Amino acid sequence: MSEEDEFELEPIEILELPLDAWHRDKGARMVEFAGYHMPIQYEGIMAEHIWTRENAGLFDVSHMGQLMLTGDGAAEALEALVPGDISALNEGKMRYSLLLAEDGGVLDDMMITAVPMGLYIVVNGAVKWDDMVYLREYLPDEITINNMEDRALLALQGPKAVDALKRVVPGADALYFMEAGSFFWGPKTDPEPLWISRSGYTGEDGFEISVPGTHAKALADQLCAQPEVNPIGLGARDSLRLEAGLPLYGHDMTPDVEPVEANAAFAISKRRRAEGGFAGAERILNALANGPVRKLVGLSVEGKMPVREGAPIFAGDAQVGVITSGGFGPSVGAPIAMGYVDADHNAVDTPLEAEVRGKRVPVTVASLPFVPHHYHRKGANK
């Protein structure tokens, strides 16, 4: 028996994050991910996944890059490299965006928040160093890029996340989805400012909390002491985001695809569609106007056998796509997948087949997400 670990990476030196010992104390199984020792699971992926959907899960995502762009005109300058309307972002508002290569390929996906100092950007851990090199090369010298390596990042996700957080950090519950702000935490005599956003990667309501690494353990302990909260590993983070139809960078999104085929046309703001002026604009705007040649879609899988990354997708004898993420959806109760499928075959409900170990498995193009999002949107009826 051998395990083909999908989290395999071969970093030169595996680094420790501020909560390393905390995870081990909690019984985590640690794996190497994005160059760090990270918890893949505590009690088990299935139980952790379901717990998060029903209660609240605490995820350590300190491997992700937290960058601060400062300097006059930072938003306008960044717009040359991302397709979102960044200069229109009001303070405390955030936007999902994409870092674009010169040819329009996706170098990373990221969350950009307007803050008093400039732009606070959270990028993927596995490519954060490449991102910084790219940004430094393409942004004007007067824009400063600060990698806030001294900060940890915790995500508290699930329908009861708000109940737990407002006890620990009073006031944070006032945020709506895709808003962020600074909140004091700890004793009144010596409060610590936390940067908190109402966002996440599970499809549930939840928060992401930027905290100095020196204070990460105390905050994690206090959050986990709340009855709603359990620590959750990367394994459940992956199954939760797959059910939510959210792409995993490096798998569902790579430099080989542009945003429209990556099902991220929503990240191209109206003004930017009209004006262009971002890397790869010609290719991307052409895909918007004429439809992409292939597209990232959801796929429901018949039977119980998971269909995983790399499996080819067929319409009859012709290969028309490839699976980029696949596994078992604990809340769906069945295997689910995402993959790229050619234009003539990617309409919802199209029956196709995936090939696993030489056998054909019936799959059907499905609308995303597999599990409805439960975001706390401003103005929405709850």
Partner 1 sequence: MTRYFTEDHEWIEVDGDSATVGITHYAQSQLGDIVFAEVPAAGATLKKGGDAAVVESVKAASDVYAPVSGTVIEGNAALEGDPALVNSDPEGEGWFFKLTLSDSSELDSLMNAAAYQAFVDGL
CA distance 174 to 271: 29
User: Per CB under 8 A, does 157 bind partner 1?
Assistant: no
157's tokens: 């996700």
Is 45 a binding residue for partner 1 by CB under 8 A? The answer is: yes
Among 17, 28, 30, 40, binds partner 1 (CB under 8 A): 40
**Considering the rule CB under 8 A, would residue 300 count as an interface residue with partner 1?**
no
Interface with partner 1 includes 24 (CB under 8 A)? no
Least Å distance, CB 303 to partner 1, is: 9
Stretch that binds partner 1, among 36-44, 77-85, 280-288, 291-299 (CB under 8 A): 36-44
Site residues (CB under 8 A) for partner 1, limited to 338-377? 357
Length of the chain: 382
Among 84, 206, 335, 339, which residue interacts with partner 1 (rule: CB under 8 A)?
335
**Cβ-based nearer residue to partner 1, 157 or 239:** 239
The stretch near partner 1 (CB under 8 A) out of 92-100, 108-116, 302-310, 340-348 is 302-310
CA–CA distance, 330 with 315 (Å, rounded to integer)? 28
Distance (Å) of CA 8 to CA 125, 201, 290, 309:
14, 21, 38, 14
The window from 62-70, 71-79, 112-120, 325-333 that contacts partner 1 (CB under 8 A) reads: 325-333
Q: In angstroms, what is the minimal distance from the CB of 161 to partner 1? A: 22
Q: Does 208 bind partner 1 (CB under 8 A)?
A: no
Six-digit token pair at 180? 């962020």
CB 330 within 8 A of CB 51: no
Comparing CA positions, the residue from 323, 354, 232 lying closest to residue 6 is: 323
Q: Is 243 in the site for partner 1 (CB under 8 A)?
A: no
Q: Which residue type, as a one-letter code, is found at position 294?
A: R
Q: How far apart are CA 321 and CA 343, in angstroms?
A: 10
Residue 44 found at the interface with partner 1 (CB under 8 A): yes
Segment holding 353, helix H or strand E = strand 351-356
Residues 47-86 interacting with partner 1 (rule: CB under 8 A): 47, 49
| Rg, C-alpha atoms of the chain | 21
330 counts as binding partner 1 under rule CB under 8 A: yes
CB 255 within 8 A of CB 131: no
Structure tokens at 360: 């054909």
Q: Does 41 bind partner 1 (CB under 8 A)?
A: yes
Q: How far is the CB of 356 from partner 1 (least distance, A)?
A: 8
Cis peptide bond N-terminal to 312, omega within 30: no
Minimum Å gap between C-beta 308 and partner 1 is: 6
- Largest alpha-carbon pair distance within the chain? 70
Binding-site ranges for partner 1 (CB under 8 A): 1-7, 40-41, 44-47, 49, 235, 238-239, 304-306, 308, 327-328, 330, 335, 357
